[in-house]
């Protein structure tokens, strides 16, 4: 079907090169044909300066009150002689191309056609209300701001502009998708963002040829560097404060209309383990949480594997006391540890997946069934050992620690190959897989920035805000991963004390 | 050969590439090797070996300063002409592939002996070489990134070795100093010289170092100092822990040293140590794979294929039976080859280039 689709999209909208003429009836007809006589294209006839005047709009995209008060009423009152001066819309354009008029109609404009005039007047009367900003469910915080991006493009831009009140904040629009005509905007700080980086993002965005673009996730897959990597190379966030903090590091955010998730590029691995709360807390507390999160990464990727390796290959690593505890819990379990571990992991994933989409009262039931019934019964039935429940539970909790959920899931998935290798080759297998993972991380780039910086390549100056968050006095320069135009971000500090 | 701006490494990275190429499988058996002749004075042998490496580095430095944008195999052709140069390059290539093969064989043998006694060695070698090829196939700067990252493990291992101090120590074993005689100490240092191989990588890395005019010599000297001290430290701590009779019976005294310890939380620190040590051992193989592939002098486009092919050759080398007699023989011939490629040829090249007054600017003969 795809070749057929391509044909129709090309002929329907982008190839209509007809122009408006002086005959109003013909003009109306042309526009109606342009929209294939869709029934929500409304037509209202009025009189303006003794001439016939027709209003065309897509009923579903305009706000009736605005249309009434700022277009229809002024025309009826007829205070000025020209349309531009009569109507009160915020934006008025003129065009004579059918294509342009059609495009604007889809953006929530209304077209005003006047007899014996080959110009069409376009006035913005759009404004379908979306949902109000609210705290994103996937990135809750305790101490930071509680607003989040929504589906509406301009609201999202508003949330950014509200925080950076500077003319340096620049937006560039792209329209992607020959069917959906989705508005995509890249936002960056003109004086700070690296010029080459901006060019690269523009180049990648403008090279996209696609029929439909609904989701930020799709756009991410279209512009990321390494599509076959398990690690996300562009950060998606629903938090405006987070997006703004990246903007001020010289990074670029990409907003897709109709999506509450905003893309940030370039990004490093460690950004996925940072949260806005780190900066709201005292620096020691923030640093402590960061170390805990990095620890969670190590636990998620390797703990079940280490357990499997120790139990099946290297039990001599454990001193006799601990060995007894583990062995007694394994006594009546008929399966090898690897099968136990995979079974538990699958049960856990099923529980999680089942409870995500259910309404919360039912999700609680799932929690009880999962946690209490399966958890205790599976041990009593000697299918899985107690120790394995502890290990898998610990791992699961650790994997949910990552502030950006996507990374936590990626790492949890990487736990499986590590576990397989551990069950086949013990410690050697674990080291083998981890070595491959870290080699892969060293190889990755995100828009020309090394992904595993500041560890690979090692950058001493960026360590201050990676594993730990030092006091703001020490954060005199920005992180260098986005290669910002200038580094200094802090001038005189605590000068009140130096007297 | 193409030298992109993006493919450069910093001096900081050079330091760690040095460390990662040199420190490898040999450290674990080093005390055993040096004590064969030097007995309790083994730790003096490593110091002497460090001095010898330093002398070689001076020669390298003098040579490379004359040809700042050429790698080893290009310098040979420049000085000796295309034909003779290519013959030498074959020797150089053979050296790197064989030393790499030897390192991998010892690596596989060690893993099999300590961690996976029942797994067939070809599987172990396949896994090792898969990871090595995966990294060696990429740009030098990425290799450098990973090596710096992996160096944190060497620090971790150095810290782990502190546990080694808690077993009983007998300072008598090294006394009186120099009792084995100068000759035996020097023979011992010959053994540790082999453990220090990897510094010849400079001959391939030099053109890619950012600002390679200044400070490089300082960096490589620091790296050499670090490695010499690191080795001496490990030899010292094992020599005062075990008598030479004990050492003669231990293949990997460093691991045996850690094996003796037991704690409430963990037993057999040696297994943990060895598992982590897999990474520095692999990086040595990666270096040799990289140097061997570079010495082929392939175009940039064909480079991945060359690495893949060399990985396959290394794999085939590791298939030879891991019989002690065969490996000893292999080791012997490889070390002769190394002496030629690492010590003799660069020295001759330097002398020739001085006598013929050749440097990079002069016309190729």
Enumerate the residues of chain A whose CB falls inside 8 A of the CB of residue B265.
319, 322
Q: How far apart, in whole angstroms, are the C-alpha atoms of residue B217 and residue B212? A: 9
Q: How far apart, in whole angstroms, are the C-alpha atoms of residue B66 and residue B80? A: 15
- CB pair distance less than 8 Å for A439 and B141: no
Which helix (H) or strand (E) segment holds residue A330: the answer is: helix A320-330
Q: Measured between alpha carbons, how far is residue B104 from residues A75, A353, B2, B98, B117 in Å?
A: 87, 45, 30, 10, 17
The half-sphere exposure of A485 on its side-chain side, counting CA atoms within 13 A, is 14
- CB pair distance less than 8 Å for B115 and A428: yes
Q: Is residue A401 part of a domain?
A: yes
Q: How far apart, in whole angstroms, are the C-alpha atoms of residue B214 and residue B209? A: 10
Q: Is A431's Cβ below 8 Å from some Cβ in B?
A: yes
- The pLDDT score that the predictor gives to residue A499 is 66
Enumerate the residues of chain B whose CB falls inside 8 A of the CB of residue A321.
264
* Mean pLDDT of all residues in A298-307: 93
Q: Which distant-in-sequence residues (6+ apart) come within 8 Å of A255 by Cβ? A: A149, A153, A156, A157, A184, A185, A186, A187, A262, A263
Q: Which distant-in-sequence residues (6+ apart) come within 8 Å of A364 by Cβ? A: none
Residues A7 and A117 in one domain: yes
Which helix (H) or strand (E) segment holds residue A156: the answer is: helix A153-163
- The pLDDT score that the predictor gives to residue A26 is 86
Q: Is B119's Cβ below 8 Å from some Cβ in A?
A: yes
- Paired with A48 in beta bridges are A51
Q: How far apart, in whole angstroms, are the C-alpha atoms of residue A208 and residue A174? A: 10
Enumerate the residues of chain B whose CB falls inside 8 A of the CB of residue A319.
262-267
Q: Is A439's Cβ below 8 Å from some Cβ in B?
A: yes
Choice between B3 and A63, residue whose per-residue pLDDT is larger: A63
Interface probe, candidates A305, A321, A427, A441, chain B, greatest B C-beta count within 10 A: A427
Q: How far apart, in whole angstroms, are the C-alpha atoms of residue B25 and residue B119? A: 20
- CB pair distance less than 8 Å for A438 and B146: yes
Q: How far apart, in whole angstroms, are the C-alpha atoms of residue A417 and residue A429? A: 9
Query: Which of A427, A439, A455 is closest, CB to CB, to B115?
Result: A427
Query: Which of A319, A455, A457 is closest, CB to CB, to B266?
Result: A319
Q: Is residue A303 part of a domain?
A: yes
Q: Is B132's Cβ below 8 Å from some Cβ in A?
A: no
Q: Is A460's Cβ below 8 Å from some Cβ in B?
A: no
Interface probe, candidates A440, A458, A466, A483, chain B, greatest B C-beta count within 10 A: A458
Backbone φ, ψ for residue A356 (5° rounding): -60, -50
CA distance B203 to chain A (A): 23
pLDDT in tens, A107-135: 888 888 888 888 888 888 876 667 788 88
Q: Is A317's Cβ below 8 Å from some Cβ in B?
A: yes
Q: Is A467's Cβ below 8 Å from some Cβ in B?
A: no
Q: Measured between alpha carbons, how far is residue A315 from residues A320, A323, A426 in Å?
A: 9, 7, 10
pLDDT in tens, A450-476: 999 888 888 888 888 888 888 888 888
Interface probe, candidates B15, B109, B150, B275, chain A, greatest A C-beta count within 10 A: B275
Q: Is B12's Cβ below 8 Å from some Cβ in A?
A: yes
Q: Is A436's Cβ below 8 Å from some Cβ in B?
A: yes
- Positive or negative CA dihedral for A448, A452, A457, A463? positive
- CB pair distance less than 8 Å for B149 and A458: yes
Residues A241 and A350 in one domain: no
Interface probe, candidates B4, B145, B152, B258, chain A, greatest A C-beta count within 10 A: B145
Q: What would the two tokens of residue B130 be?
A: 């898969």
Enumerate the residues of chain A whose CB falls inside 8 A of the CB of residue B266.
317-319
- CB pair distance less than 8 Å for B264 and A321: yes
Enumerate the residues of chain A whose CB falls inside 8 A of the CB of residue B268.
314, 316-317
pLDDT in tens, A4-51: 444 444 444 456 778 888 888 888 888 888 888 888 888 888 888 788
- CB pair distance less than 8 Å for A452 and B149: yes
- CB pair distance less than 8 Å for B141 and A457: yes
pLDDT at A347 over 70: yes
Residues A149 and A248 in one domain: yes
Q: What would the two tokens of residue A295 be?
A: 């620890």
Residues A115 and A169 in one domain: no
* Mean pLDDT of all residues in A94-110: 85
* Domain end position, chosen among A210, A241, A267: A267
Query: Which of B12, B264, B275 is closest, CB to CB, to A319?
Result: B264
Residues A415 and A335 in one domain: yes
* Mean pLDDT of all residues in A145-174: 90
Total count of domains within chain A: 3
pLDDT at A224 over 50: yes
Q: How far apart, in whole angstroms, are the C-alpha atoms of residue A2 and residue B111? A: 54
Interface probe, candidates B25, B115, B289, chain A, greatest A C-beta count within 10 A: B115
Q: What would the two tokens of residue A243 be?
A: 């997006």
pLDDT at A442 over 80: yes
The burial of A349, by beta-carbon neighbours within 10 Å (0-12 exposed, 13-18 middle, 19 or more buried), is given as: middle
pLDDT in tens, A397-422: 998 998 888 898 899 999 999 999 99
Total CB pairs under 8 A between chain A and B: 94
Residues A397 and A325 in one domain: yes
Q: Is residue A489 part of a domain?
A: no
Residues A120 and A262 in one domain: no
- CB pair distance less than 8 Å for B267 and A432: no
Q: Is residue A423 part of a domain?
A: yes
- Paired with B262 in beta bridges are B267
pLDDT at A2 over 70: no
Residues A312 and A445 in one domain: yes
Enumerate the residues of chain A whose CB falls inside 8 A of the CB of residue B10.
457
Q: Is residue A462 part of a domain?
A: no
CA distance A237 to chain B (A): 29
* Mean pLDDT of all residues in A136-143: 85
Residues A416 and A318 in one domain: yes
Residues A53 and A142 in one domain: no
Interface probe, candidates B116, B140, B143, chain A, greatest A C-beta count within 10 A: B116
- The pLDDT score that the predictor gives to residue B229 is 92
Q: Is B298's Cβ below 8 Å from some Cβ in A?
A: no
- The pLDDT score that the predictor gives to residue B184 is 80
Q: Is B264's Cβ below 8 Å from some Cβ in A?
A: yes
Choice between A407 and A491, residue whose per-residue pLDDT is larger: A407
Residues A294 and A422 in one domain: yes
* Domain end position, chosen among A124, A149, A180: A124
Cβ atoms of A41 and A29 within 8 Å: the answer is no
- DSSP-H helix ranges across chain B: 11-22, 26-38, 42-66, 72-80, 82-114, 121-136, 140-160, 182-195, 202-205, 216-239, 244-249, 253-259, 269-296, 303-318, 324-338, 345-355
Query: Which of B115, B131, B268 is closest, CB to CB, to A426?
Result: B115
- The pLDDT score that the predictor gives to residue A317 is 87
Query: Which of B146, B149, B266 is closest, CB to CB, to A317?
Result: B266
Interface probe, candidates A305, A432, A439, chain B, greatest B C-beta count within 10 A: A439
Cβ atoms of B64 and B259 within 8 Å: the answer is no
Name the residue among A330, A291, A284 with its Cα closest to residue A307: A330
Q: Is residue A469 part of a domain?
A: no
Q: Is B153's Cβ below 8 Å from some Cβ in A?
A: no
Residues of chain B with pLDDT below 70 are 1-6, 212, 358-365
Q: Is residue A477 part of a domain?
A: no
Q: Is A228's Cβ below 8 Å from some Cβ in B?
A: no
Residues A113 and A225 in one domain: no
CA distance B139 to chain A (A): 9
* Mean pLDDT of all residues in A51-71: 85
Give residue for tokens 């999700």: A363
Range of the domain at A102: 2-124
- The pLDDT score that the predictor gives to residue B364 is 45
* Mean pLDDT of all residues in A283-288: 91
- CB pair distance less than 8 Å for A313 and B116: yes
Walk me through the domains of chain B, giving residue ranges and CATH numbers: 22-355 (1.20.1740.10)
CA distance A462 to chain B (A): 15
Q: Measured between alpha carbons, how far is residue B35 from residues B42, B158, B322 in Å?
A: 5, 22, 23
Q: Is residue A28 part of a domain?
A: yes
- The pLDDT score that the predictor gives to residue A1 is 40
Angle between helices B11-22 and B269-296 (to 10 degrees): 110
Q: Is A401's Cβ below 8 Å from some Cβ in B?
A: no
Q: Is A420's Cβ below 8 Å from some Cβ in B?
A: no
The nearest alpha carbon in chain A to B110 belongs to A428
């Amino acid at each position: 079907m795809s070749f057929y689709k391509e044909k129709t999209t090309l002929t329907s909208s982008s190839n209509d090169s007809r122009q408006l003429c002086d005959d109003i009836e013909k003009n109306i007809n042309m526009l109606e044909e342009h929209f294939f006589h869709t029934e929500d294209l409304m037509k209202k006839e009025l009189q303006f300066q003794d001439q016939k005047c027709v209003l065309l709009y897509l009923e579903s995209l305009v706000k009736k009150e605005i249309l009434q008060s700022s277009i229809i009423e002024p025309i009826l009152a007829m205070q000025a002689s020209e349309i531009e001066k009569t109507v009160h819309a915020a934006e008025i354009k003129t065009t004579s191309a059918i294509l342009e008029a059609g495009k604007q109609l889809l953006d929530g404009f209304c077209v005003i056609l006047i007899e014996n005039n080959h110009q069409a007047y376009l006035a913005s009367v759009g404004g379908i209300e979306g949902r109000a900003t609210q705290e994103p469910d996937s990135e809750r915080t305790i101490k930071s701001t509680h607003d989040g991006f929504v589906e509406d493009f301009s609201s999202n831009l508003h949330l950014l502009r509200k925080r950076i009140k500077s003319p340096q904040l620049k937006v560039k629009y792209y329209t992607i998708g020959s069917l959906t005509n989705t508005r995509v905007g890249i936002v960056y700080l003109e004086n700070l963002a690296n010029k080459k980086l901006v060019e690269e993002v523009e180049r990648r965005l403008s090279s996209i040829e696609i029929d439909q673009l609904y989701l930020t996730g799709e756009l991410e897959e279209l512009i990321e560097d390494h599509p076959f990597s398990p690690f996300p190379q562009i950060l998606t966030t629903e938090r405006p404060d987070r997006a703004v903090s990246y903007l001020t590091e010289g990074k670029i955010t990409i907003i897709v209309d109709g999506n509450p998730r905003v893309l940030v590029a370039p990004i490093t691995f460690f950004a996925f383990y940072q949260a806005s709360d780190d900066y709201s807390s005292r620096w020691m507390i923030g640093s402590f949480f960061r170390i805990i999160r990095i620890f969670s990464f190590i636990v998620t990727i390797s703990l079940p594997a280490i357990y499997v390796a120790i139990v099946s290959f290297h039990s001599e690593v454990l001193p006799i006391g601990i060995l007894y505890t583990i062995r007694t819990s394994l006594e009546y379990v008929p399966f090898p540890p690897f099968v136990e571990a995979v079974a538990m992991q699958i049960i856990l994933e099923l529980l999680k997946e089942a409870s995500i989409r259910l309404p919360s009262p039912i999700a609680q039931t799932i929690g009880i069934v999962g946690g209490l019934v399966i958890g205790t019964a599976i041990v009593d039935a000697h299918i899985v050992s107690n120790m394995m429940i502890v290990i898998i539970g610990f791992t699961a909790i650790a994997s949910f620690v990552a502030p950006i959920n996507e990374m936590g899931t990626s790492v949890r998935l990487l736990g499986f190959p590590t576990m397989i290798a551990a069950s086949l080759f013990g410690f050697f297998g674990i080291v083998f897989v981890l070595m491959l993972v870290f080699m892969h991380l060293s190889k990755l780039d995100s828009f020309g920035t090394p992904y595993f910086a500041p560890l690979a390549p090692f950058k001493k100056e960026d360590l201050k805000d990676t594993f730990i968050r030092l006091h703001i006095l020490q954060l005199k320069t920005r992180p260098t991963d986005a290669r910002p135009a200038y580094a200094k971000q802090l001038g005189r500090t605590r000068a009140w004390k130096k007297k | 050969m193409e030298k992109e701006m993006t493919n450069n490494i910093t001096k900081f990275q050079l330091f760690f590439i040095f460390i990662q190429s040199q420190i490898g499988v040999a450290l674990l058996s080093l005390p055993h090797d040096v004590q064969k002749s030097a007995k309790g004075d083994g730790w003096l042998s490593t110091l002497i070996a460090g001095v010898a490496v330093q002398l070689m580095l001076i020669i390298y430095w003098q040579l490379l300063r004359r040809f700042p944008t050429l790698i080893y195999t290009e310098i040979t052709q420049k000085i000796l002409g295309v034909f003779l140069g290519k013959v030498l390059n074959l020797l150089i290539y053979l050296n790197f592939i064989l030393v790499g093969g030897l390192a991998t064989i010892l690596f596989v043998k060690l893993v099999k002996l300590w961690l996976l006694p029942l797994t067939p060695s070809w599987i172990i070698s396949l896994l090792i070489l898969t990871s090595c090829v995966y990294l060696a196939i990429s740009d030098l700067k990425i290799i450098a990134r990973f090596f710096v990252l992996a160096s944190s493990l060497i620090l971790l291992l150095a810290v782990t070795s502190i546990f080694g101090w808690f077993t009983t120590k007998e300072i008598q074993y090294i006394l009186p100093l120099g009792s084995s005689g100068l000759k035996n100490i020097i023979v011992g240092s010959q053994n540790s010289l082999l453990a220090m191989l990897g510094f010849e990588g400079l001959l391939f890395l030099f053109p890619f170092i950012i600002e390679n005019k200044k400070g490089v010599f300082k960096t490589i000297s620091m790296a050499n100092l670090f490695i010499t001290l690191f080795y001496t430290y490990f030899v010292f701590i094992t020599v005062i822990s075990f008598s030479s009779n004990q050492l003669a019976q231990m293949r990997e005294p460093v691991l045996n040293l850690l094996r003796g310890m037991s704690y409430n939380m963990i037993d057999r620190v040696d297994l943990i140590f060895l598992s982590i040590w897999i990474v520095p051992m692999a990086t040595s193989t990666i270096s040799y794979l990289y140097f061997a592939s570079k010495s082929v002098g392939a175009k940039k486009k064909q480079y991945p294929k060359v690495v893949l092919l060399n990985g396959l050759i290394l794999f085939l080398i590791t298939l030879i039976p891991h019989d002690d007699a065969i490996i000893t023989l292999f080791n012997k011939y490889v070390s002769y080859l190394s002496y030629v490629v690492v010590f003799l040829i660069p020295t001759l090249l330097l002398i020739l280039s001085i006598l013929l007054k050749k440097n990079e600017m002069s016309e190729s003969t």
